[in-house]
Amino acid sequence: MAIPLATTGTATFDQIAIVTGLVGLLYVALAVLLWRERTGRVTLVGRLTDTIGRLDGVPRWAALTPYLHAISLLACAFGVWWDIAVHIARGRDTGPFGTPAHYPIFFGILGVIVSGVLPIALAGKPLPARTVKLTKGWRIPCSAALVTLCGTFALVGFPLDDVWHRMFGEDITLWGPTHLLMIGGVVFSIFARLLALAEVEQLLGLNKRRLFQEIVAVGALLIAWDLFSTEFDYGVPQFPLILHPILIAFGATLGFTVLRARRGPGTTFAALAVYLVIRGGIAWAVDQPLGGILGHFPLLVVEAVLVEAVAFALGTTSRFRLGAIAGALIGTVGVVAEYAWSQVWMPIPWPASILPAALGYGVVAGIGAGLVGAWLATRYAEVAGDERATGIRNARPVAVRRTHQLGAVGSAVVLGTVFFCVPRSADPGVSAAVSLERVATGAEPTAYVTVKLQPGDAAEEARWFEAMAWQGGGFLTHRMEKVAGGTYRSADPLPMYGRWKSMIRLHQGQRDLVSMWVYAPEDAGIGKPAVQVSDGQTVGFVDEQQVLRREERTDVPRWMWNGGYALLGVVGLLELAGIAWLVGRGARGGRLRAAHLGAGDREREIA
């Protein structure tokens, strides 16, 4: 069956030409750099890295990339939060460069790729003990290969995003497959940055500057992981609310465990400070100078305290014990703390009814994340040449396998928890008799919306029940306040004019998400008629995807949707496999080098 391609929200020829031209120029420049550096010719980039390398006391392949990678990550994070705010306020865009926010994302992704290619071009002795062989006489650090891999996956997401829009219509959701491909590639590149720091430590040891870079990298990991919660932070989640505490528990446990399992007291607080300053700065910049929407974010203070407390009480000799116990505490005490914080500042306060499920899933996700964080910390320690990395002398193979097994169990637990909680359902058995209390009339009418639900207890213990309006040049969300049994009124009036899309949203149980229209304009670009609820009309709640994701096509076969998401799953697994293999390869080299040095020391002692 032939499915006609959509044109709304897709790239025009000039935008495709711009993207292709910029990427082409970059790759030509990188090819020239690779050729000149590998043939011994002088380049401006080489001179710059030599200068920075002398100042920092690091090999030339490790000199420039930490700074370029940090700037690129900041650009991507700023661009994503800005872009989502633009979509919430104004609706769909017109292609890869349909909004200014796409530029920092695009150039940030290119920067991530360059930060991986530079050490490939500049690779030379001294190199870590384990490398990736490209040709005879040309070996590169594992971290360089990993950054390039992650950056390439992220860049591929840009053209695939346009293809996705043409096939399935505009996908205005953070968790769309191509969006996750771009965001995931950039986030995963942070693990490569931590690997690069461990490789340099293997050669030169640790100093304060490199410790600071590691703290910043973990702070960046906390910031980047919060990107996956952005819809919750802005107040327009399109997935069950239970995902929010799960994502917080996972991100906090993973980031803080990776750092504190290897470094001294107080380092988690330093990473927390990086997170709060930069994350808060981005939220302010999008809201104030750019006139966007204020993005809220989890505090993570209690989570940092918990990890420090566990490390103080139990030590860091057993990293997996530290990660598991810290994860369990973050999944309980940390989740309760974020529940309290949500009542103060988050756009959708967590209801008390969510706590039993949040604590249960939070513990599971926290322990799983703690095991993954401990696995990463152990591997990074081995890369760095830490003799106690496995806690067993000479790193016996059985001990290494045991840590791999624990890390795999942690990954499976977390992925299973997330994928179990992601699916949504929609109970079509809810309807409402609508009353409109007009506030403004004329060209820009607004009204308080009162709904009498049938059944009357449909909103009892709801995860959220709110009135929302978006994409009309701003964003409004108000709680539905109970005025009588089964009857609720919006706390403020909703707009019913122009490009605004006004609705009532209801989240029942763990995963049931339904909405009812109040107003929506005609949209000829996607063939949708205008919607205007009248006073006294009875309206049925429908699957929320039909309301929030109005631009998505409904004439595409289910197998095509499943194929698209399956492709994302394959790509994600490839990225995870790449991280595991390259980090593990670097760790094996560190173990062999540590064993070799240890044998040399023993021989000298005997002599």
Question: Can you tell me the mean pLDDT for 159-168?
Answer: 81
Is there a domain that residue 215 lies in? no
Cis peptide before 126 (omega within 30 of 0): yes
Which residues are bridge partners to 514 per DSSP? 506, 543
Is there a domain that residue 179 lies in? yes
| Local structure of 388: helix, strand or coil | coil
For the ranges 218-232, 388-402, 568-582, the maximum mean pLDDT occurs at: 218-232
How many degrees, rounded to 5, is the angle at CA 56 between CA 55 and CA 61?
A: 110
**With helix as H, strand as E and coil as C, how does 113-136 read?**
HHHHHHHHHHCCCCCCCCEEEEEC
Q: What is the pTM of this model?
A: 0.93
Is there a domain that residue 468 lies in? yes
pLDDT computed for residue 441 by the predictor? 86
* Cα–Cα distance measured from residue 322 to residue 257, given in angstroms and rounded to the nearest whole number: 8
Do 579 and 146 touch, CB atoms closer than 8 A? Answer: yes
Examine the fold and report which residue of 499, 519, 540 is the final residue of a domain before the chain moves on.
540
Examine the fold and report which residue of 180, 205, 230 is the final residue of a domain before the chain moves on.
205
Is there a domain that residue 281 lies in? no
Is there a domain that residue 136 lies in? yes
> And the tokens for 78?
């700023």
Q: Would you put residue 182 in left (φ > 0), alpha (ψ -120 to 50) or beta?
A: alpha
Residue-wise pLDDT for 5-25, tens only, equals 445 556 666 777 878 888 899
Looking at the 3D structure of the chain, how many domains does it have? Answer: 2
**With helix as H, strand as E and coil as C, how does 298-319 read?**
CCCHHHHHHHHHHHHHHCCCCH
Q: Which residues contact 93 (CB under 8 A, 6 or more apart)?
A: 9, 86, 87, 99, 102
Is there a domain that residue 454 lies in? yes
Do 117 and 30 touch, CB atoms closer than 8 A? Answer: yes
Rg of the chain in Å (alpha carbons): 26
> And the tokens for 114?
């360059």
Q: Which residues contact 155 (CB under 8 A, 6 or more apart)?
A: 23, 109, 110, 113, 185
Q: Which residues contact 291 (CB under 8 A, 6 or more apart)?
A: none
209-213, 284-288, 386-390, 455-459: lowest mean pLDDT where?
Answer: 386-390
pLDDT computed for residue 499 by the predictor? 94
> And the tokens for 553?
């096509």
> And the tokens for 369?
């994340």
Average pLDDT, the chain: 90
* Cα–Cα distance measured from residue 106 to residue 113, given in angstroms and rounded to the nearest whole number: 11
Residue-wise pLDDT for 241-254, tens only, equals 999 999 999 999 99
* Cα–Cα distance measured from residue 265 to residue 274, given in angstroms and rounded to the nearest whole number: 16
Is there a domain that residue 582 lies in? no
> And the tokens for 557?
């076969």
- Closest-CA residue to 140 (of 131, 129, 130, 149): 131
Examine the fold and report which residue of 505, 521, 540 is the final residue of a domain before the chain moves on.
540
CATH classification of the domain holding 76? 1.20.1420
Do 348 and 237 touch, CB atoms closer than 8 A? Answer: yes
Residue-wise pLDDT for 462-498, tens only, equals 999 999 999 999 999 999 999 999 999 999 999 999 9
Residues listed for the chain: 607
Is there a domain that residue 113 lies in? yes
Residue-wise pLDDT for 244-280, tens only, equals 999 999 999 999 999 999 999 999 999 999 999 999 9
pLDDT computed for residue 95 by the predictor? 62
Domain that holds residue 64: 7-205
- In 447-538, alpha helices (H): none
* Cα–Cα distance measured from residue 149 to residue 117, given in angstroms and rounded to the nearest whole number: 10
